[in-house]
């Protein structure tokens, strides 16, 4: 398998879809195929899914919930070789859509008075780490979570080095310390606070800060404080909790051949793309964050206060803590999607109609598939923002 060309493309695409700004049979899916009401109109979401998998996408799962409707459906196949039907409870690596959970974890540690977002990272991390990060003495956790720290991006700017290393050692666990190897001793893109640029490295360093504060890997805190109390039954921390449940196969096209990337992703667990989960759980956690359900006042305000969304370098697009905000078809939409090699997650919330939605596909990182699932997203937005 080639690495650098398509992995460089993949990481750029991860930002691109983030800006669109890481048990049901076919029969049970058909039970969800009845047209459902939305704003007084009927739309057959199942027919849309069925049409989607007639092309490049092997399988898709869609979950939508609003006061007017609930839809949960799947179409296509989970495994190309076995031709097993895609299930509504399929679990995939959710990529950067999981950044909102890292940000939420940070808000909880702020609430506990363990983390000060405005202290330099040198207050929390050892010199072994900070001495190899440009301007570390002026970078804060707040800046890293909002992508204003100027950090070199270990994924998007390393010419595929991280993924080359993954391919060489597919069976070993890769956590934040592993990922940081590909960001050390690199020049900053700008001095902290002087601009905005999406950088996965800031979330990697945030994960390492969590570990220092908690005295253990932060996956335990995510399980005890987010996954379990919020009822996110499918969700687990990638790689670290791989015994929790299996992940679905995901497909990338390499030299004309479909490659299943599952063997590589089942051993990756990093704070910039921390979670594996279902479409329903991704929709549910975004709804919880936006509406403040089950959150403390401190956590909710940090995640959703208007003042905490800052302008990006793309007109009309703002970024807060693990979430983008923009106006789409005249409606305010909160979102953060996720892209991994072989997997894509779209996760969005339409505030005016209190609609929370997510869909998963099991291919990603090559043009035909990427165009197909982006088209599905555009179609859903057109329907749901009417």
Which of helix, strand or coil describes residue 153?
A: coil
State percent of the chain over pLDDT 70.
89
pLDDT band at 40 (very low <50, low <70, confident <90, very high): very low
CA–CA dist 271, 290 (Å, integer): 21
CA–CA dist 58, 3 (Å, integer): 23
**DSSP summary character for residue 276:** E
CA–CA dist 357, 375 (Å, integer): 16
**The pLDDT of residue 50:** 98
Across the chain, mean pLDDT equals 91
pLDDT band at 42 (very low <50, low <70, confident <90, very high): confident
Beta bridge partners of 70: 65
**The pLDDT of residue 329:** 94
Is the pLDDT score of 31 beyond 50?
no
| Confidence (pTM) | 0.91
Summarised one tens digit per residue, pLDDT across range 305-354 is: 999 999 999 999 999 999 999 999 999 999 999 999 999 999 999 999 99
- Provide the Cα torsion 59, 64, 69, 73; round to 10°: 20
pLDDT higher at 361 or 18? 361
Boundaries of every domain in the chain? 4-384
Q: What is the mean pLDDT of the segment spanning 214-221?
A: 98
Asked whether the beta carbons of 291 and 351 are under 8 A apart, the reply is no
Summarised one tens digit per residue, pLDDT across range 157-185 is: 999 999 999 999 999 999 999 999 999 99
Is the pLDDT score of 254 beyond 70?
yes
CA–CA dist 197, 340 (Å, integer): 20
Is the pLDDT score of 233 beyond 70?
yes
Asked whether the beta carbons of 137 and 168 are under 8 A apart, the reply is no
Summarised one tens digit per residue, pLDDT across range 47-86 is: 999 999 999 999 999 999 999 999 999 999 999 999 999 9
Task: Choose the weakest-confidence range: 24-38, 209-223, 252-266.
Answer: 24-38
Asked whether the beta carbons of 260 and 1 are under 8 A apart, the reply is no
Q: From the options 3.10.20.30, 3.40.50.360, 3.40.710.10, 3.40.47.10, give the CATH code of 4-384.
A: 3.40.710.10
């Amino acid at each position: 398998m080639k690495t650098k060309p398509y992995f460089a493309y993949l990481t750029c695409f991860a930002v691109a879809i983030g800006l669109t700004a890481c048990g049901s049979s076919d029969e049970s899916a058909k039970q969800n195929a009845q047209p459902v009401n939305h704003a007084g109109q009927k739309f057959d979401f199942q027919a849309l899914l069925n049409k989607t998998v007639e092309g490049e996408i092997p399988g898709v799962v869609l979950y939508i919930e609003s006061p007017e409707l609930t839809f949960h459906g799947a179409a296509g196949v989970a495994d190309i070789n076995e031709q097993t039907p895609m299930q509504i409870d399929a679990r995939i690596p959710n990529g950067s859509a999981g950044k909102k959970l890292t940000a939420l974890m940070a808000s909880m540690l702020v609430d506990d008075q363990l983390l000060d977002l405005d202290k330099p990272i040198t207050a929390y991390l050892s010199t072994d780490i900070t001495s190899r990060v440009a301007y570390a003495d002026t970078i804060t956790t707040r800046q890293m979570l909002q992508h204003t720290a100027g950090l070199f991006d270990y994924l998007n700017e390393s010419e595929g080095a991280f993924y080359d290393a993954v391919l060489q050692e597919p069976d070993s666990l890769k956590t934040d310390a592993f990922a940081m190897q590909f960001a050390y001793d690199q020049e900053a893109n700008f001095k902290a606070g002087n601009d905005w640029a999406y950088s996965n490295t800031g979330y990697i360093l945030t994960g390492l800060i969590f570990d220092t504060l908690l005295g253990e890997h932060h996956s335990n805190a995510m399980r005890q404080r987010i996954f379990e109390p919020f009822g996110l039954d499918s969700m687990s921390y990638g790689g670290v909790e791989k015994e929790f449940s299996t992940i679905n196969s995901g497909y990338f096209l390499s030299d004309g051949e479909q490659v299943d990337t599952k063997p590589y992703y089942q051993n990756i667990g990093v704070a910039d793309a921390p979670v594996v989960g279902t479409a329903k759980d991704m929709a549910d956690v975004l709804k919880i964050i936006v509406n403040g359900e089950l959150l403390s006042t401190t956590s909710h305000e940090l995640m959703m206060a208007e003042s905490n969304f800052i302008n990006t370098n793309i007109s009309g697009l703002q970024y807060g803590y693990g979430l983008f905000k923009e106006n789409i078809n005249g409606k305010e939409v909160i979102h953060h999607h996720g892209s991994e090699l072989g997997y894509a997650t779209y996760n969005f919330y339409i505030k005016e109609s209190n609609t929370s939605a997510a869909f998963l596909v099991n291919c990603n990182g090559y043009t035909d598939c990427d165009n197909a699932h982006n088209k599905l997203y555009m179609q859903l937005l057109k329907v749901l923002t009417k």
